[in-house]
Amino acid sequence: MQRSLIETLMGAVVLAVAALFLGFAYSSSDLGRGGGYELYAEFSTVGGLRVGNDVRMSGIKIGTVVRQDLNPQTFLARVTLSVDDSVKLPADTSAVIASESLLGGNYLELAPGGDEVMLKPGDRIQYTQDAVDLIQMLGKFMFSPGQQGTGGAASQ
């Protein structure tokens, strides 16, 4: 009986420590939806952009991608992003899906414009640029017929 009670208490301690660890990990990561206001942008393709990816301006994280869905009227990918309340974006801000590296993930890069009117929560970012598909570009380069050198200055 004594041994069973000790094992039960030790199991409870282990579970409590595990719960504390999970709580700490969740609070110190960016998994929770932070404050901020939501904007959206539409792209013909989002490439490898995923929910939870960073939204950056000048390389600094200012928000997070919170949702992706398909606009049934235009058949464009609608990306909803949450931007920190302290960052006010001009109405002519542009959004580009950028790649961290050849093997890394994607993120959404915002470039502010010069308009004096600011975007409000729920507004659309008008100017967008789709993700670059490196595999498709490489395929076009490899399988496209090269230009034939016909009669240049080097031939005699």
Name the residue ranges covered by the structural domains of the chain.
Answer: 37-134
At 122 the pLDDT is 93
- The more confident residue out of 64 and 32 is 64
Q: What is the tens place of the pLDDT at every residue in 65-111?
A: 999 999 999 999 999 999 999 999 999 999 999 888 777 788 999 99
At 33 the pLDDT is 53
User: At 3, is the pLDDT very low, low, confident or very high (cuts 50, 70, 90)?
Assistant: confident
Q: What is the tens place of the pLDDT at every residue in 13-22?
A: 899 999 888 8
User: At 58, is the pLDDT very low, low, confident or very high (cuts 50, 70, 90)?
Assistant: very high
20-49 core/surface letters (b: 16 or more CB in 10 A; e: else): eeeeeeeeeeeeeeeebbebbbbbeebbeb
CA distance 68 to 109: 16
Lowest mean pLDDT among 52-56, 68-72, 134-138, 146-150: 146-150
State the average pLDDT for the chain: 84
Q: Are 70 and 77 in contact (CB under 8 A)?
A: yes
- The more confident residue out of 4 and 57 is 57
At 6 the pLDDT is 87
Q: Are 78 and 71 in contact (CB under 8 A)?
A: yes
- In the predicted model, what is the mean pLDDT of residues 107-134? 90
